[in-house]
Amino acid sequence: MKLRDLLDGIRIEPTSELPECDIKHVTINSKNAGPKSLFVAIKGAVTDGHNFVREAFKKGSLFAIVEKEPASKSGPFVLVEDTKAALAKIAANFYKNPSGKLNIIGITGTNGKTTTAFIVESVFKVAKRKCGLIGTVSYNTGSRFLPADRTTPNALCLNSLFAEMVKSGTTDAVMEVSSHALEQERVKNIIFKTAVFMNLTHEHLDYHKTINQYFLSKSKLFKLLGKGGIAVINADDKMAGRLISRISGRYISFGIKKPATIEARNINSGLDGSRFEVWIEKKKKIKIETPLIGTHNVYNILAAIATSWANGISEKNIKKGVEAVRLIPGRLECVRCRGGVRVFVDYAHTDNALFNVLGFLSQMKTRKIITVFGAGGERDTAKRPLMGRAVQKFSDFFIITSDNPRGENPGRIAREIEKGLLKGKKKYKIILNRKHAIKNALEKAEKGDIVLLAGKGHEGYQIIGNKKIPFDDRIVAGKILKEIKNTCASKTL
């Protein structure tokens, strides 16, 4: 593509005529630069791409896009106000605006995005609509499945995935949209036909600083709705009214407690599944039976139903699509076990998510709840004591351990979690080795107990320092369960 076509729609300095050159590749990583490539310098949280402009030119880049003049003028460049925003436009131009050829559904919120996205994809599949997926667990382009390296990829990767979807004949795409992605312009120039708001709770305040800023970041998704687009709002969330006041177009709502366009009634949820009625516009429409458990999953299903209904899918196909989902990876996923001890693995890594999951499990327990959890390093520190308080409230015994400590001292993270604990309430241990913590919990469990391994969910690694060490709670727990011998009739695993 000609450089001038690639930069179409971007305000640049100097405004002099651009050189006549063909660009075959766009990159933000100087290591990936090569002949006929365009390098876009992005300032990140850890590294600044402006420090690698010289390297990009050495590897063959023809041109660079920067926010500030490079220290070493080793090649031609132009200045832009914001390289993140410029990258979004460059990516759309380079891949010939693939998002404009898809019906794109964006889902945002602190919790529930992944489950809702999986259910929407299932419903669309039942309705014979080829639907792509971009989310925390994986990416589905219609022609292949890819493991996800982040919830919402950068603009280059995102447009590449959309282009692949278009090529494969995909018509619809559902994607999780993180607050970081919205703030960092990763989804700028994407035209959404449906925008879904799940909830807003304490998370990412290391980045956003305040709940208000977090909300404002989330609300940006609804400014990206195209003409005729529709918003889908959780009526029961405390931010619902404020968000609705900022929406200029059409919206529908879903909920359990407050009046909504789509409501769940007569909910019956146990450890073997959930059953409830779905009322659309005050009329009883659908009976749902699903193996997904917990009130939080009822909300996720309602969000998916509202989204599907807004996209013209029949009630019959909605029911079939919802009920076809048997498991969401790492979301209250039951690890196979013996002797009446139920072991669940869940991605819950915020106080609200832990409160919801453990609150539900506490209603289902016949004996004790044993929880293993930690908090991520180099992330929102303010949520750590809140997580401890939530776990303490519902657990009969719990173990504080490591959960992606990154460059932080795991012991320090554990002590910050401890600050939220009420003195003299509930027994707990600190075992920083996560494998040892899981083993201790499983050895302690007796018939009728529930063990929750929280925080990592589908993740197959621990981030220690700057390394990803293979570690999957589901695999580790499964191996430990096989190793544990039956010691007495009341303790059978």
Give the start-to-end residue ranges of the domains of the chain: 3-94, 98-323, 333-483
Q: Would you place residue 491 in the very low, low, confident or very high pLDDT band (cuts 50, 70, 90)?
A: very low
Exposure class string for 199-221: b at 16+ Cβ within 10 A, else e:
bbbbbbbebbeeeeebbebbbbb
Q: Would you place residue 226 in the very low, low, confident or very high pLDDT band (cuts 50, 70, 90)?
A: confident
Neighbours of 343 (CB within 10 A): 27
**Residue 338 pLDDT:** 65
454-473 confidence digits (pLDDT tens): 999 999 999 999 999 999 99
More confident residue, 20 or 401: 401
Q: Give the DSSP H or E segment for 458.
A: none
Q: Which fold has domain 98-323?
A: UDP-N-acetylmuramoyl-L-alanine:D-glutamate ligase (3.40.1190)
**Residue 488 pLDDT:** 37
DSSP 8-state assignment for residue 59: T
More confident residue, 268 or 207: 268
Res 195 pLDDT > 70 = yes
Res 267 pLDDT > 60 = yes
Q: Give the DSSP H or E segment for 112.
A: none
Are 289 and 275 in contact, with CB atoms under 8 Å apart?
Answer: yes
**Residue 492 pLDDT:** 40
**Nearest in space to 370 (alpha carbons), one of 344, 348, 352:** 344
Are 127 and 314 in contact, with CB atoms under 8 Å apart?
Answer: yes
**Residue 487 pLDDT:** 43
How far apart (Å, rounded) are the C-alpha atoms in residues 235 and 254? Answer: 6
Are 27 and 33 in contact, with CB atoms under 8 Å apart?
Answer: yes
**Which residues have C-beta within 8 Å of that of residue 447, sequence separation ≥ 6?**
339, 340, 341, 367, 490, 491, 492
What average pLDDT does range 318-324 have in this prediction?
98
Q: Report percent pLDDT > 90 for the chain.
A: 82
Q: What is the residue-averaged pLDDT of the chain?
A: 93
DSSP states along 197-226: E----S--HHHH-SHHHHHHHHHGGGGGEE
Are 492 and 447 in contact, with CB atoms under 8 Å apart?
Answer: yes
The CATH label, of 3.40.1390.10, 3.40.50.150, 3.30.930.10, 3.30.420.40, for the domain at 3-94 is: 3.40.1390.10
- Is pTM beyond 0.75 here? yes
123-151 confidence digits (pLDDT tens): 999 999 999 999 999 999 999 999 998 88
Please identify which residue in the block is written with the tokens 């009630």. Answer: 315
Q: In CATH terms, is domain 333-483 a member of 3.30.70.260?
A: no
Q: Would you place residue 48 in the very low, low, confident or very high pLDDT band (cuts 50, 70, 90)?
A: very high
User: 19-28, 128-137, 194-203, 482-491: which has the minimum mean pLDDT?
Assistant: 482-491
What average pLDDT does range 418-437 have in this prediction?
93
Are 109 and 206 in contact, with CB atoms under 8 Å apart?
Answer: no
Q: Give the DSSP H or E segment for 13.
A: none
Q: Is the dihedral of CA 123, 129, 134, 138 positive or negative?
A: positive
**Residue 319 pLDDT:** 98
For 280, the 3-state DSSP assignment is strand
Q: Do the bridges between strand 131-134 and strand 172-176 make them parallel or antiparallel, or are there none, so unpaired?
A: parallel
**Which residues have C-beta within 8 Å of that of residue 416, sequence separation ≥ 6?**
375, 381, 384, 385
Q: Give 293-351 as a 3 state SS string.
A: CCHHHHHHHHHHHHHHHHCCCCHHHHHHHHHCCCCCCCCCEEECCCCCCEEEEECCCCH
What average pLDDT does range 204-215 have in this prediction?
74
How far apart (Å, rounded) are the C-alpha atoms in residues 195 and 251? Answer: 9
